[in-house]
Structure 1
């Protein structure tokens, strides 16, 4: 698709506007959080449910802020940059939507946000969110390689859960069936509940020894049991199917390279 000179300059100006905005929030985790809350107050399509489709994202972002991975001191680290690029895609998508730019070939994550804004629903929100996150995984692979092996393991578990949630929303899970659409609905408090379980989402960065045990599901408490059931019994047994399905759904063929012999090998892709 060819862009006219006028269209190209319009889109480039929006890119510059989005980059300038990102520069104002990048070194303040609290401002990133405020930015996303403001975004979803406008574009969460809440119907009385505070942040609407953004509820799950806000819950996860609050966990990231509390864990400290978005602090300016980690500007060259994986979590900091994947989150920042995610926000950039979303903000740029909103600018394109507001400007009503048509017949412009957009970067895939940006187009998905425009699609969500034009037709807000759980499926379109997940497509926008997960496309942006996966592109971040791919772009910042080298930064992931610098993380500890246990952090890499945890980073992969986070993606496993995220993709499985999208599979549930699409009604493609054998275990949960149609009820999965409800459980994974981004408007509902499932993520808020999960991020408060330290066995699933540790609070320290870098990970401490106790966090390592939790991430590896070594323990005898209820949190460890929940983590084991979710990650080992439900998700990991179906990783190849999950990644193949989402790769095709989102048209991101690189995602299938994350899997070797039903194991996620990121960042070695």
Structure 2
């Protein structure tokens, strides 16, 4: 009974803010008890970026971005209710949030957050396919960055090599440093829809720091990152979302040759290679 109530109540609360972008932000923040508000820093910053882009607008926004956010909010609210009342979660994501609230840590936060987001991605491929190529590229990069940042916490040596000791601090969702990976405000265009903007233009618009992160750190470790996420999140479909260095969720949007590394990104890739 408690389990069914939690799922139904979570759905009711998400439905109440579905056409209210600012209400989505408030509901997302409400899922964190006062002692844990720091864990919501990166998530809420990302949500405000979505709000600024307009992707959550009930009429002019993106059905895909709205659906994925629905899933995250629903899982969070169900997990919050279950953490207080007890019961069994209806989804792996909700169970992750229940476990995070029972034993909060950077690792349990990423397992909860990323499992919910990954479920949203995999459940709504048909909506993503309808987005333009540049939007799908941004969607893919967003996922790659989230999975990579999680791995910084649990497998830093896999991604940073000799600099592994820096991983847990850099990836901690409570710190400002995580914004280097998860804050996309200064990385991608803050408009929706993107219109005639091409994937190549989006790549060109990335700043030097963003390029260093994407092409010096993340792209060379895509296979390791997605394999790690598949194991940790218990989602075996994840590795199929990349192939030959190309992000392929909702179809390939850019050839591997587009990720040409400059001298700095090549240096970063070499310095963080696992030995």
Superposition TM-score tier, normalisation by shorter sequence: 0.7 to 0.9
Closer, same or farther: CA 74–91 of 1 in aligned 2, 3 Å = farther
Q: Distance in 2 between matches of 1:105 and 1:63?
A: 29
Gaps of 5+ in 2: 253-275
Q: Which runs of 5+ in 1 are unaligned?
A: 1-8
* Distance of 1:209 and 1:76 partners within structure 2: 16
Instruction: Tell me if the contact between 2:29 and 2:44 (Cα under 8 Å) persists in the aligned partners.
Output: yes
Shift of 1:36: 1.7
Within-5 A mapping of 1:77-116: 77-101=63-87, 104=88, 106-116=90-100
Q: Is the 8 A contact 2:54 2:192 kept in 1?
A: yes
CA contact (8 A) 2:61 2:192 kept: no
Structure 1 residues 125, 34: closer, same or farther in 2, change over 3 A? same
Q: TM-score, normalising length from structure 2?
A: 0.83
Deviation at 1:268, TM superposition (A): 3.6
Contact 2:64 2:124 in 1 (8 A): yes
Q: CA, structure 1 residues 196+252, in 2 after alignment: closer, same or farther (shift >3 Å)?
A: closer
Distance 1:34 1:60, change over 3 A: same
Report the equivalent of 1:25: 17
Q: Is the 8 A contact 1:74 1:80 kept in 2?
A: no
Tell me how large the CA RMSD over aligned residues is.
Answer: 2.1
Q: Aligned pair 1:170/2:154, yes or no? A: yes
- Return 170-179 or 241-250, whichever deviates more: 170-179
Correspondence 1:188 to 2:180: no
2:2 pairs with 1:10? yes
Q: How does 1:121-136 map to 2 (within 5 A)?
A: 121-136=105-120
Match of residue 4 from structure 1:
none
Distance of 1:119 and 1:181 partners within structure 2: 18
Deviations 1:225-255, CA, capped at 9 Å, x for gaps: 1122111121111101110111011111011
* 1:152/1:234 CA distance change after superposition, 3 Å: same
User: For residues 74 and 95 of structure 1, do their structure 2 counterparts lie closer, same or farther at Cα, with a shift above 3 Å needed?
Assistant: farther
Q: Deviations over 1:21-65 (max 9, x none)?
A: 11111111101111122222x16x34xxxx211111111111111
Contact 1:19-1:88 within 8 A present in 2 as well = yes
